[in-house]
Amino acid sequence: MGSATDVQNLYNLVNRQSQAVLDYATAEGIAFIPWFPIATGDLAQPGSPVAEIAAEVGATPAQVALAWLLHISPVVLPIPGTTSLEHLTENLQAAKLTLSDDEVARLNALA
Ligand SMILES: NC(=O)c1ccc[n+]([C@@H]2O[C@H](COP(=O)([O-])OP(=O)(O)OC[C@H]3O[C@@H](n4cnc5c(N)ncnc54)[C@H](OP(=O)(O)O)[C@@H]3O)[C@@H](O)[C@H]2O)c1
């Protein structure tokens, strides 16, 4: 009989204190659920650190913050919270956003 496990830690573009745990989860194939994936909404704001790249790629800051999470590791499963159907629809579109290596490098440098 198999066993299942996952990690749920605070993790987002501007708070990577759990980077070592994520690296371990990635190496071991353990699901990593980053809570506060858009920094309780801060990363979705117009003045967000990701706003410039979002404008360049034709996406919203929230979508870029989520796309980055989906890009960095196949074990990452973001759970953005929202009370808004509009935001839910917007956030789901992040899964279709492809970031270039240059864009990912610039986002990595924002930490
Ligand atoms: N395991 C744990 O210990 C733990 C701890 C804390 C949280 N969590 C879970 O983690 C999940 C996420 O936490 P969270 O909701 O506090 O933080 P979050 O997902 O980083 O941010 C949610 C905030 O972002 C806003 N937002 C969402 N999408 C947006 C968009 N597209 N544009 C603009 N604003 C947007 C929401 O406002 P609107 O409502 O206006 O969209 C809400 O204020 C939740 O399911 C929570 O239960 C788990």
pLDDT in the model for residue 70:
97
Question: With bands split at pLDDT 50, 70 and 90, how would you rate the model's confidence at 49?
Answer: very high
Average pLDDT over residues 19-39: 97
Closest CA to 67 of 47, 40, 43, 42: 43
User: What are phi and psi for residue 80, nearest 5 degrees?
Assistant: -65, 135
Pocket test for ligand 1, best of 10, 68, 84 (most atoms within 8 A of CB): 84
The confidence score (pLDDT) of residue 37 equals 97
Contact yes or no for 62/90 (Cβ under 8 A): yes
CB 9 within 8 A of CB 18: yes
Q: Does ligand 1 have an atom closer than 6 angstroms to the CB of 36?
A: yes
**Domains along the chain with CATH numbers:** 6-108 (3.20.20.100)
Residue 69 in contact with ligand 1 by CB distance below 6 A: no
pLDDT at 96 over 60: yes
User: Residue 64: pLDDT band by 50, 70, 90 thresholds?
Assistant: very high
Tell me the pLDDT band of 46, cut-offs 50, 70 and 90.
confident
Rounded CA gap, 71 and 53, in Å? 15
Ligand 1 within 6 A of CB of 44 = yes
